[in-house]
Amino acid sequence: MRVGVRASLLTRLRPADIAKELGVTVEPVRIDSQCKYAVVARGDSSVYLRLSSLTYKEKIWDHAAGLLVVEEGACLCLPPIVLAVRRSTYVYAEAAGGRVTDFEGNRLDFSHGDALSHNVGIVCTNGLLHEQVLAAIRRLDVVGTLRARAAAKAK
């Protein structure tokens, strides 16, 4: 398994701890831009993690297209009839295998203006490892750590 992580995160949250919790032994690939989603969709990486501070909210234009690449790209092996009857992008993604959620397992919510203001971080996987990644994040209490840091800064 190879995990892609944005380089600037390494000094903040130690994604290496998440990788270690998952048993990852290879070094992460550090790339920027929407390429990360394409790398997961192509199968060259199993996981892409993105998490910054709670005060910074990701812009929807940085992730909407990537989400579709993972969901659509993971579907190339499905029969055309399945592609024709999809009802929604998220149902389609789950049927196809590729998944994108936040660190709490919530779907990305693009309905609140130009930022993902109701989401914490990004977890993008090939689908097979999604629950394992979320479980590792919960065991390490990554979101709780972020909230504690935000509270300490606010004082």
The residue ranges of every structural domain in the chain are 3-53+61-154
Q: Which residue has the higher pLDDT, 7 or 71?
A: 71
Residue 130 DSSP SS3: helix
Residue 127 DSSP SS3: coil
Q: Which residue has the higher pLDDT, 27 or 33?
A: 27
Element (H, E) at 41: helix 35-42
Overall pTM surpassing 0.85 (yes/no): no
- CATH class given for the domain over 3-53+61-154: alpha beta
Query: Distance between CA atoms of 135 and 104, rounded to whole angstroms?
Result: 10
Query: Distance between CA atoms of 62 and 121, rounded to whole angstroms?
Result: 12
- The 10s digit of each residue's pLDDT in 87-134 is 333 333 444 468 999 999 999 999 999 999 999 989 999 888 899 999
Under the banding of pLDDT at 50, 70 and 90, the label for residue 40 is confident
Count of C-beta atoms within a 10 Å radius of residue 21: 15
